Amino acid sequence: MRYCGFSEFFHDSGIAFITSEGDIEFAAHGERYSGKKNDPELPDVLMNMIKKDDHTSFYEDYALRIKYKSYSIDENDFNPLLMNYKNPHLQGSIVSDVYVPHHVSHAAGGFYTRPWESKDDTVILTIDGAGEYQSACIYDSNFNILHEEIWPKSIGQVYTYFTRALGFRPLEEEYIVMGLAAYGNPIVGKEIEDVYHNIFSQIVPEDKRKDSRKKLIASLFGITVDKGFRKEDIAASVQYFAEREIMVLAKLARQYGSKLVYSGGCAQNVVVNSMIKPLFDDMWIPVAPTDAGSSLGAAAYSYGKATGRDRINWQGPYLGYDIKHNLNPKEVVDHLLEHTYCGIANGRAEFGPRALGNRSLIADVRFDIKDTVNAIKRRQEYRPFAPAILEEFASQYFEGPMNEYMQYTANALHDYKSVTHIDGTARVQIVKKDCKSVFRKVIEEYYERTGVPMLLNTSLNIRGMPIVNNEKGAADFEKRYNVKVF
pLDDT band at 99 (very low <50, low <70, confident <90, very high): confident
Segment 294-300 shows an average pLDDT of 97
Confidence (pLDDT) at 92:
39
Cis peptide before 152 (omega within 30 of 0): yes
Instruction: Kindly report the average pLDDT of the chain as a whole number.
Output: 90
Q: How far apart, in whole angstroms, are the C-alpha atoms of residue 387 and residue 365?
A: 8
pLDDT band at 94 (very low <50, low <70, confident <90, very high): very low
Confidence (pLDDT) at 210:
59
Q: Are 303 and 95 in contact (CB under 8 A)?
A: no
Query: How distant, in Å, are the alpha carbons of 112, 296, 371 from that of 106?
Result: 11, 9, 36
Q: What percent of the chain has pLDDT over 90?
A: 76
Q: Which residues neighbour 238 within 8 Å (Cβ) at sequence distance 6 or greater?
A: 158, 159, 162, 177, 181, 189, 192
For residue range 157-201, what is the model confidence (pLDDT) as tens digits?
Answer: 899 989 999 999 988 899 999 999 999 999 999 999 988 887 666
Question: Residue 98: what residue type?
Answer: V
Q: What is the 3-state secondary structure (H, E, C) of 339-390?
A: HCEEEEECEEEECCCCCCCCEEEEECCCCCCHHHHHHHCCCCCCCCCEEEEE
Confidence (pLDDT) at 97:
55
pLDDT band at 152 (very low <50, low <70, confident <90, very high): confident
Q: Which residues neighbour 100 within 8 Å (Cβ) at sequence distance 6 or greater?
A: 5, 57, 58, 59, 60, 61, 108, 297, 298, 301, 302
Strand, coil or helix: 189: helix
> In 384-470, which residue ranges form alpha helices assigned H by DSSP?
394-397, 439-450
For residue range 246-262, what is the model confidence (pLDDT) as tens digits?
Answer: 999 999 999 999 999 99
Q: Which of 367, 373, 362, 377 is nearest to 441 (CA)?
A: 362
Other beta carbons within 10 Å of 446 = 24
pLDDT band at 212 (very low <50, low <70, confident <90, very high): low
Q: What percent of the chain has pLDDT over 70?
A: 89
CA 415 to chain centre: 28
For residue range 231-244, what is the model confidence (pLDDT) as tens digits?
Answer: 999 999 999 999 99
Confidence (pLDDT) at 390:
98
Kindly tell me if the per-residue pLDDT of 107 is higher than 80.
yes
